[in-house]
């Protein structure tokens, strides 16, 4: 006999795709997102030029056949820098968000499941973290710790752990009293089995949606920090950094600034559209 689990999940998938087809915006968003993800994976392989390759002769050229998005003040190809830059964005925002998700969801699950004093204490600590304005908090931490990719990653996690933990907790609190969980207790399932086999699969939908929302926020955060000079350092092709460097040339060569800025907006909007689609698939009925 084949594994019933695999069967049910593949049918779930086809149903999910069916629901997604009815939301073209989400489909476009997902495609754009996947495009950037692919570029991040391929990185320099996909770029027509090296991202650091300078050419004084080709300085500040507007978009043309050789350089589709033009060149910057050092004659570097902007398209290549944007494509390669997506790798840094995905690495930093992605791993930062995933780390935050791992820590936050773990805290939320246990806190919500066991409740009582631990729950109260943890939640008050998280409230303190939540009360700081995110960008200010990030600036403070980075100014103290020094700007480095690792620190940036830690900052993202610290910022997003509280929100993910709260969401995971409230989802668990809701599921914990459901009758199927009580049925599991009556047949003597252990706590960990109840938490990971009964509750978590049902909490995954809202958690995934929240994680992808946080991901799009963190793209923005990484770019903002790069722009402020506290993120990735030059000559990295970070998008925020590129915008910062391009500021003084805006009047004469606006494309240096507009294309990285456009890339940020595109990826953020695409991620949000994808999230909407995800929400529709994972939490049908909720709007």
Neighbours of 127 (CB within 10 A): 11
Stretch of 27-35, 116-124, 252-260, 265-273 lying at the interface with another protein (CB under 8 A): 116-124
Per the rule left: phi > 0, alpha: psi between -120 and 50, beta: everything else, 156 is: alpha
Q: Which is nearer to another protein, 219 or 281 (CB)?
A: 281
- Provide DSSP, 42-84: HGGGT-SS-TT---GGGTTPPS-SSSTT-B-TT--BHHHHHHH
Residues 6+ apart with CB under 8 A from 218: 92, 93, 96, 97, 156, 160
Residue 120 interacting with another protein (CB under 8 A): yes
How far is the C-alpha of 32 from the C-alpha of 222, rounded, in Å?
19
Give the footprint of another protein on residues 164-193 (CB under 8 A).
178-180, 182-189
Residue 202 interacting with another protein (CB under 8 A): yes
**Residue 237 burial (CB < 10 Å; 0-12/13-18/19+)?**
buried
Distances (CA, A) of 19 to 203, 246, 259: 20, 42, 33
DSSP state of 177: T
Residue 127 interacting with another protein (CB under 8 A): no
- How many helices (H) and strands (E) the chain has is answered by 12, 0
How many residues make contact with another protein (CB under 8 A)?
A: 23
Residue 4 interacting with another protein (CB under 8 A): yes
Q: Which is nearer to another protein, 117 or 251 (CB)?
A: 117
* Beta carbon of residue 7, minimum distance to another protein (angstroms, whole number): 6
* Beta carbon of residue 223, minimum distance to another protein (angstroms, whole number): 37
* Beta carbon of residue 189, minimum distance to another protein (angstroms, whole number): 7
Residue 5 interacting with another protein (CB under 8 A): yes
Distances (CA, A) of 110 to 93, 101, 105, 118, 209: 25, 14, 9, 9, 20
* Beta carbon of residue 11, minimum distance to another protein (angstroms, whole number): 8
* Beta carbon of residue 192, minimum distance to another protein (angstroms, whole number): 13
How far is the C-alpha of 265 from the C-alpha of 78, rounded, in Å?
16
Residue 16 interacting with another protein (CB under 8 A): no
Tokens of 27: 């489909």
* Beta carbon of residue 282, minimum distance to another protein (angstroms, whole number): 12
Residue 128 interacting with another protein (CB under 8 A): no
Q: Which is nearer to another protein, 120 or 127 (CB)?
A: 120
Neighbours of 70 (CB within 10 A): 21
Residue 95 interacting with another protein (CB under 8 A): no
Q: Shortest CA distance to 129 belongs to which of 93, 165, 92?
A: 165
* Beta carbon of residue 113, minimum distance to another protein (angstroms, whole number): 13
Q: Which is nearer to another protein, 7 or 127 (CB)?
A: 7
* Beta carbon of residue 227, minimum distance to another protein (angstroms, whole number): 43
Residue 12 interacting with another protein (CB under 8 A): yes
Q: Which is nearer to another protein, 52 or 189 (CB)?
A: 189
Which residues contact another protein (rule: CB under 8 A)? 1, 4-5, 7-8, 12, 116-117, 120, 178-180, 182-189, 198, 201-202
């Amino acid at each position: 006999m084949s594994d019933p689990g695999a069967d049910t999940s593949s049918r779930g998938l086809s149903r999910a795709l069916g629901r997604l087809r009815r939301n073209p915006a989400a489909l476009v968003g997902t495609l754009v997102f996947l495009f950037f993800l692919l570029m991040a994976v391929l990185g320099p392989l996909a770029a027509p030029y090296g991202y650091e390759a300078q050419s004084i002769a080709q300085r500040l050229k507007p978009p043309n056949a050789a350089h589709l998005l033009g060149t910057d003040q050092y004659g570097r190809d902007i398209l290549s820098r944007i494509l390669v830059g997506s790798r840094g964005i995905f690495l930093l925002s992605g791993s930062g968000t995933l780390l935050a998700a791992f820590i936050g969801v773990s805290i939320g699950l246990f806190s919500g499941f066991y409740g009582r004093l631990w729950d109260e204490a943890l939640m008050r600590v998280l409230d303190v973290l939540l009360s700081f304005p995110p960008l200010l908090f990030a600036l403070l931490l980075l100014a103290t710790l020094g700007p480095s990719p690792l620190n940036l990653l830690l900052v993202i996690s610290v910022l997003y752990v509280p929100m993910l933990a709260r969401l995971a907790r409230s989802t668990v609190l809701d599921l914990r009293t459901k009758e199927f969980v009580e049925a599991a207790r009556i047949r003597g399932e252990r706590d960990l089995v109840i938490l990971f086999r009964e509750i978590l699969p049902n909490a995954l939908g809202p958690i995934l949606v929240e994680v992808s929302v946080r991901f799009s926020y963190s793209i923005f955060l990484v770019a903002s920090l790069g722009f402020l000079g506290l993120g990735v350092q030059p000559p990295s092709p970070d998008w925020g950094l590129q915008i910062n460097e391009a500021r003084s040339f805006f009047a004469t060569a606006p494309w240096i600034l507009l294309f990285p800025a456009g890339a940020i907006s595109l990826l953020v909007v695409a991620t949000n559209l994808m999230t909407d689609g995800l929400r529709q698939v994972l939490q049908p009925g909720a709007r």
